[in-house]
Amino acid sequence: MEGNSGGVGGGGSGSGAGGGGGSGGGGGGNDVELMCKTLQVEHKLFYFDLKENPRGRYLKISEKTSATRSTIIVPFSGISWFLELFNYYVNNSADDQDLFSKELQLDTKVFYFDIGENRRGRFLK
């Protein structure tokens, strides 16, 4: 998910809003937490919360540093596509200098995946 610095940001218009067409979305009082996992990478914490509400299931991914917290909501129908995109970047990052930015549209949301690089290494944003 992360090279040496960046990570899952709040980027893309899918940030923090629920999708349409029966897809889940965050923020409701009727949300039930089905599973949650936490991952620490260097100084960042990543939270993966699978939740369900009357509109359906969704995955809430949050990145927390000491100063900021960014969250995206992924409709349940898009979780496998997210995994495919993460695998694309992870499996090709070490040997491929020409990784491409990708765009994923799910319902009314558009997620952008961009590769960045700085003095600490490559990262997905």
Q: CATH number of the domain that 119 lies in?
A: 3.30.2450.30
Q: How many CB atoms lie within 10 A of CB 37?
A: 9
Give the number of domains in the chain.
Answer: 1
Query: Is residue 100's pLDDT more than 70?
Result: yes
pLDDT tens, residue by residue, 19-77: 333 445 656 678 999 999 999 988 889 999 999 999 999 999 999 988 999 998 999 99
Report the pLDDT value the prediction gives residue 5, as an integer from 0 to 100.
36
Domain of residue 100, residue span: 32-124
Q: Is residue 107 part of a domain?
A: yes
Position 66: which residue type? S
d(CA 95, CA 89): 11
d(CA 25, CA 23): 7
